[in-house]
A and B are shown apart, each in its own frame.
Chain A
């Protein structure tokens, strides 16, 4: 089972120092026995999430060009309308970054930007439809490894997963809310030969990371995404 770190881009920190710390982070993962993937393998080594920090596309491209690190670009439907999202996808295509992880996104009311206009112009299924139909010239859906963030704690989530598979989603990232996801949903995703990961915030892991991984190991997942908040001090650098 793969364990992949995810991090948001920095807000005020020195950007080159942040980049350097990410390299150390990946080296640290090697040191504690987590396999660092080479770029020929299909999974990304690191997930860079766009929130309100430095442009994540820039960072993904830098890591690829300067350090040969394979990243996935994680973005949400909250902050950008379809024009802006499609612009990002065209940029990704141009830079050769294929792995995308799309979520609906945490509502501004649950962030420090309570007054921000929530966009949600299209939902992730809508984005999939646009890509599937080839509506952006030269950017077909199958260019990307289209990852979708979903919940898996209600029957209605099953329906959303089915719809996402219908429109061509490749990977699923189940948001961990404190209870185990429905195993039926995981089995269904696997039965369709799609990859499925559990996405957990570092701070939501009670106890040690090892214990958490052991706990979810039998769910049939392809991996766990651990979202860290600090690139210098986290479960990977501490070797937890």
Chain B
């Protein structure tokens, strides 16, 4: 799931102030799970925009607004209303916002801040485990991602700042390299304990707009 958080309403109000006729599109997938773009949040946004003096032309929740195929199918239900709309508040991650903007050719206003790929512990409690770094090293680390779980994103062992157990930055959390060491020892993967990773190739992430 991709985690989002609600933007402050005054930021949305500022972005939308010059538009009168406004639509709202929610995301029934990730944003719905993290309570930022489901049908309840769409209704709340509708209420807010009306109170702010806007004419809400339509509201809709789309299963996956980041998927052009799904978007194309679902947007047909509000085709005429979109035509009559000046701007659309989108309650999804940045990918959804941009996909919708490109597709409808209208001003889109992001209603959320995009955070990270998240594991859901409970609703409202999430963990970042994967940074989408392009070169997955989990097979060599005992299955824990040092790029994500080490605040410095190190590859080849802990920094000089840990205290033997816990992370220098998040002092209540175990250093991921200590955890990785324990897991590799448990799985008897001695060859991976001594592996030296090459510096990351950031060229991948710069050119990943198309895969």
Contacts and interface: CB of A to CB of B under 8 A. Distances in A.
B198 A129 contact: yes
A107 B160 CA distance: 11
Contacts of A78: 152
Nearest to A179: B164
A151 B181 CA distance: 15
Contacts of A175: 160-161
A110 B169 contact: yes
Category for how many chain A residues contact B: 35 or more
Contacts of A105: 152, 159
Contact of B159 (A82, A104, A167): A104
Nearest to B146: A123
B193 A109 contact: no
A17 interface: no
A154 B178 contact: yes
Interface in B128-170: 151-165, 168-169
A107 B198 CA distance: 22
Interface in A140-164: 149-151, 153-157, 159-160, 162-163
B53 interface: no
B196 interface: yes
B180 A156 contact: yes
Contacts of B193: 159
B185 to A, nearest CB: 8
Interface of A is mostly: mixed
A173 B160 CA distance: 9
A129 to B, nearest CB: 7
A18 interface: no
B196 A163 contact: yes
Contacts of A174: 160
A15 to B, nearest CB: 29
A156 B154 CA distance: 13
B177 A107 contact: no
Contact of A107 (B151, B165, B175): B151
Contacts of A82: 199
Contact of B156 (A106, A125, A178): A125
A121 B160 contact: no
Interface string B198-209: 111010000000
Contacts of A109: 151, 169
A128 to B, nearest CB: 9
A154 B162 contact: yes
Given A107-B169, A154-B164, A156-B177, A162 B194 contact: yes
B161 A163 contact: no
A159 B181 contact: yes
B180 to A, nearest CB: 7
A126 B198 contact: yes
Contacts of A122: 199-200
A157 B181 CA distance: 10
Q: Which 10 A-B pairs have the closest CB atoms?
A: A160-B157, A153-B164, A126-B199, A104-B159, A125-B156, A175-B160, A156-B181, A122-B199, A149-B160, A107-B169
14 contacts: A82-B199, A106-B161, A107-B151, A107-B161, A109-B169, A121-B200, A123-B156, A153-B163, A154-B175, A156-B158, A157-B157, A157-B158, A159-B193, A160-B157
Interface of B: 151-165, 168-169, 175, 177-178, 180-181, 193-194, 196-200, 202
Interface of A: 77-78, 82, 103-107, 109-110, 118, 120-126, 129-130, 149-151, 153-157, 159-160, 162-163, 166-167, 173-175, 177-179
